[in-house]
Chains A and B, each alone.
Chain A
Amino acid sequence: MTVVVESIRPVLAVSCPAICALLILLFYHPKLSTRVNLRESCTIIASVIQFLIVLSMAPIILEGQELRCHLLTICPGIVLSYKVDAFGLLFAFTSSCLWILVSLYSIGYMRALKEHAQTRYFFMFALAIFAAVSMAMSENLVTFYIFYETLTASTYWLVAHHEDKEALFAGRKYLTYLLTSGWFLFTATVLTYVLTGTTDFVPNGILSLDSAAPWVLMILFALFMLGLMKAAWIPFHSWLPTAMVAPTPVSALLHAVAVVKAGVFGFVRVVCYIYGIELMSGLGLGLILASIASFTMIVGSFLAIGQDNLKRRLAYSTISQLSYIIFGVALLSHFGAIGSMIHIPFHGFMKITLFLCAGALIVIAGKTEVSQMAGIGRRGQMPITMLAFTIGAIGMCGAPPVCGFISKWYLCLGTLEAGMPIFLGVILISSLLDVVYFFPIIRTAFFEKPLEMNGGEREEKVRSKETEQPLYLFMVIPLAITAIFSVIFCFFPHTFHILDLAEMAVSNIFGGV
């Protein structure tokens, strides 16, 4: 059993991005350009400190302790408090680790494109990370809900960053979907509180068949599902591809770190910590959820095939991949849950690699569509970027030697453990479809001849485009790092205790069964 210890560490971890956001505002000066460097270094330092704090919590958690920090009791029911358990730490780790890399990348990206309103951008970015880490560490549904809305509000500014017609439209769509889902989540939270008198996340769930009639629990679950539209399950996914108009680091943040992961994180929390495995299987909700997730996996992949815009293709790929995580918990089996939990950081690393590559292609080569990318991976063009892209793509398909293989392995084990081999077929089909939409990109990049070859001029150029400007290194290095880590995680899934934490969380959930 776990022991709950009062500790200030969760607050310290969360306060890093919050303080960083405030400092960014303080350093704002419309004309002084030296302030810009100050602002950026502030972001980097805060992210590194946060990552170290989060990492320092891992050994404590693995010893069987849980760190709790109570903030505020506003009125009966509205309790703001943080509690870090193994699963929460996993998400916090993903967010804080990738924040460092995305910040570095943002510097290169935003400066190279000379984007406007960079202060607002970095401010909202820090705020979004603050909300995401807070969600990871929230002890109860109310805290979770509050930061869910904070995340929506802060990322709106990032989605609508360009402020042109398209971006504003995307922003509106984004708000429409996510605020509506916030309404459902609020309703579900209140209803949970009324049924049980608490909203805490407890490993075996707080609801039981005694708390209400089965149909009420079914309605409640439907409310939760609608409330977690951030997980972009079909048919409530269309905000996600539309939001691709945002700057690429934001898309990376949305898709790999904060927003969508917050949605699936919520799903796992609801299934395992509010309903509990027993109740889910008792009501037959696991099967329903697994079916919806399978549907999303396959349809998402099919939709991805038809996209020419690289970022949109990646967005549909995300929709499909997120459902692996939902699918894993919906199997209600030991291995399935491990698979879905480790897929959160693993998918985070792989998808962020892909997005950072897409962003680098936009900035360095000015290419957004897949059909323009003939020969882009050749010598003299962008070989490092495309190599990283290849690693990410292989991982998405679940093939070794990239970490997607590990999580997919656990998911397959989970289906067999749950006694539903038909879902094994779903995973295989979906992986196959992943191959169908990713490998053509790789083939185009490496094996097709560049379209605008003009004589021997290009041939002589040995130095690749990626190193032309020092600013580009800010982009290439982070994406190389994430790609390398994606490979490392495959061979050593215990790096940063990822697998240990997932196993621990799952054994807590299933401990009482």
Chain B
Amino acid sequence: MIPHILLQTLIVPVIASVIIFLTRSKIGEKAGWIAGITHLYTTVLLCIAGIRVYGGETIYEEYPIGAVVNFNLLADGLSIPVALIMNLICLALAFYSIHYVDHRIEAIYGEVDKKTWLMYYTRFFFLFNFFSVGFMGVSFATNLLAMYLFMELLTVIPLYFIMATFGYSDFIERYKVALMCLFWGVAEATFFLIGIIWGYTQIGSFEISELHNLAGNPLTLWIASFILLGLAIKLAMVPFQVWMPWVHAEHPTCIAGLLAVYANIAAYVIVRVLVLPLHDDLKVFCIPVMVFAAITMIYGALLALAQTDVKRLCACSTISQISYSVFGIGAFTVLGVEGGIFYFLSHILGKAIFFSTGGILVYVTGIRDMRKMGGLWSKMPITATLWISASLILSGIPPFSGFVGKWVLFTGAFQFGMENPIVLPIVILAVMSTILTLVYTFLRGLQIFFGPLKPALANNDKIRDPPLTMTIPLLILAVVSFILGVYPEPILELLHSVIGIL
């Protein structure tokens, strides 16, 4: 038996961060490996916890701090799969970053002396670990204030500082965009905070398990709309999607995959905070949420079609993909919500690969404009394979996990549509965005990897597949997605054990 198994997943990365910070001038390049191994350890822990939960156990750990605030952690069938997949992505991207950050520092700060280089290099990994802390915190927290704190932690420490230090474009632009991201993040969190404090005045508790007491309260709808508004900003739903392309485009690509997680985790929060405790009261939100989600799905996909910048393509694709989960969750049927969460997992896996492959392209060729690429298949076969598998995951084509997610999600949505015929056309329209996904991923894939090799690229010897530490983690993610696509039963069963009560 491992003591404090959930707490460890939160604390160990922090400890690793502190170690990296304190020994930064000595460990140097090993910082990346330390971060990677830390995540490997926490992933193993989560696997063990996952097996226990799958056996029917619910892991609950109490860490009270004050009267209303506590850091109690709960791992049930809903939080464990989400946490596990998110941690897996952190793990993969930690290894991916080892080479990438080196390249970023060189790109931004030019040739620097050893000391400055070490400072920047270790700073990245020092900050990076807070991602998984935040993600684990949000998924395991049982207290709304704790959840809020973890969400803020995600916005402030890793997101803002990493972007400000390692982002693209020049100094001023970078800080501007980082600041904008921070503002949006804070705005979102503020709405969320207003909602939960208002809820506190009604039921006198910040515990998620107490939220069901709000049922039947006349103010519930208002409270829920504040929380929903906050989360909609985080989910980059129309009309709050503005920040996403900027932030994604400016971010160093090695953590851009985590940005998709950062945004999409709000879908999990919706299920945890609103759908499960208050599903009977919130039925009125179903149709508006589905309509907005469908609009976002299609709008995001159309935006993605119009992009020529490889990173912005990924960003717009994220806007579209996130709304799949929201769409399923909006249906409020068991399958819809399960499909929404499953699609969330599938999306973050696919997006981590997609983004990082884009990052590889930028890393290797140094250009971001996809029109200037072409015929790279012959030079970078592994990268092309990664791009194609990511495209398959995102557009929901068997045998990858996207297909299962899509199937379950739309089954749920159609079930809802059978009860409310007015929704039926919306659902049919929403399925359309899947074909748009196929178009923008594969069309761009063709443009980048096939056709004649551009002369400027052909004569460049540096253009080849990147080091294995960049490709192997991504290949592993693709394999995970494949396993989920062929054998999704454990995850679906885990989700069903919690969501089945609807």
Contact = CB atoms under 8 A, between A and B. Distances in A.
Interface of A: 72, 74-75, 77-78, 146, 149, 179-180, 182-183, 186-187, 190-191, 193-195, 212-213, 216, 219, 223
B337 to A, nearest CB: 15
A159 to B, nearest CB: 14
Contacts of A149: 397
B300 to A, nearest CB: 17
22 contacts: A72-B486, A75-B488, A77-B407, A77-B411, A78-B404, A149-B397, A182-B435, A183-B434, A183-B435, A186-B431, A186-B434, A187-B410, A187-B428, A190-B410, A190-B411, A190-B414, A190-B431, A194-B411, A194-B415, A194-B417, A212-B418, A216-B418
Contacts of B410: 187, 190
A219 B407 contact: no
Contacts of B431: 183, 186-187, 190
A428 to B, nearest CB: 39
A74 B487 contact: yes
B435 A75 contact: no
Contacts of B404: 74-75, 78
A194 B415 CA distance: 6
The 4 closest A-B pairs by CB, nearest first: A194-B414, A183-B435, A187-B431, A190-B410
Contacts of A77: 407-408, 411
Interface string B490-502: 0010000000000
Contact of B411 (A72, A74, A193): A193
B438 interface: yes
B119 interface: no
Given A190-B411, A195-B418, 8 more contacts: A74-B485, A74-B489, A78-B404, A179-B438, A186-B431, A194-B411, A219-B424, A223-B428
A475 to B, nearest CB: 31
Nearest to B418: A194
Interface string B454-494: 00000000000000000000000000000001111100100
A38 B403 CA distance: 37
Given A195-B418, A216-B424, A74 B434 contact: no
B421 interface: yes
B489 A75 contact: yes
A182 B395 CA distance: 12
Interface of B: 397-398, 403-404, 407-408, 410-411, 414-415, 417-418, 421, 424, 427-428, 431-432, 434-435, 438-439, 485-489, 492
A297 B486 CA distance: 42
Contact of A183 (B407, B418, B432, B485): B432
A75 B492 contact: yes
Nearest to A219: B424
A74 B486 contact: yes
Contacts of B492: 75
Contacts of B439: 179
Contacts of B488: 74-75
B487 A180 contact: no
A157 to B, nearest CB: 11
Contacts of A219: 424
B434 A75 contact: no
B168 to A, nearest CB: 32
A179 B408 CA distance: 21
A286 to B, nearest CB: 24
A180 B432 CA distance: 8
A179 B427 CA distance: 18
A180 B438 CA distance: 10
Nearest to A149: B397
Nearest to A168: B451
Nearest to B491: A75
Nearest to A215: B421
Contacts of B434: 183, 186
B421 A216 contact: yes
Contacts of A191: 414
Contacts of B418: 194-195, 212, 216
Nearest to A213: B421
A180 B435 contact: yes
Contacts of A183: 431-432, 434-435
B408 to A, nearest CB: 6
A190 B410 CA distance: 7
Contacts of B417: 194
B47 to A, nearest CB: 22
Residue of A186, A213, A219 with most partner-chain B CB within 10 A: A186
B197 to A, nearest CB: 40
Nearest to A212: B418
B408 A75 contact: yes
Contacts of A78: 403-404, 407
Nearest to A147: B398
A79 B63 CA distance: 45
Residue of B403, B404, B415, B417 contacting most chain A CB atoms (<10 Å): B403
Given A75-B488, A183-B431, A183-B435, A190 B407 contact: yes
Contacts of B415: 194
A78 B406 CA distance: 11
A400 to B, nearest CB: 46
A381 to B, nearest CB: 40
Nearest to B408: A75
Contacts of B424: 216, 219
A186 B407 CA distance: 9
A411 to B, nearest CB: 34
Contacts of A190: 407, 410-411, 414, 431
A195 to B, nearest CB: 7
A186 B413 CA distance: 14
A75 B491 CA distance: 11
A194 B413 CA distance: 9
A187 B410 CA distance: 8
B425 to A, nearest CB: 9
A75 B432 contact: no
A213 B418 CA distance: 9
A237 B397 CA distance: 25
A75 B485 CA distance: 9
A146 B400 CA distance: 12
A127 B407 CA distance: 25
A75 B408 CA distance: 8
A213 B421 CA distance: 10
A195 B403 CA distance: 20
A172 to B, nearest CB: 9
A213 B432 CA distance: 24
A219 B427 CA distance: 13
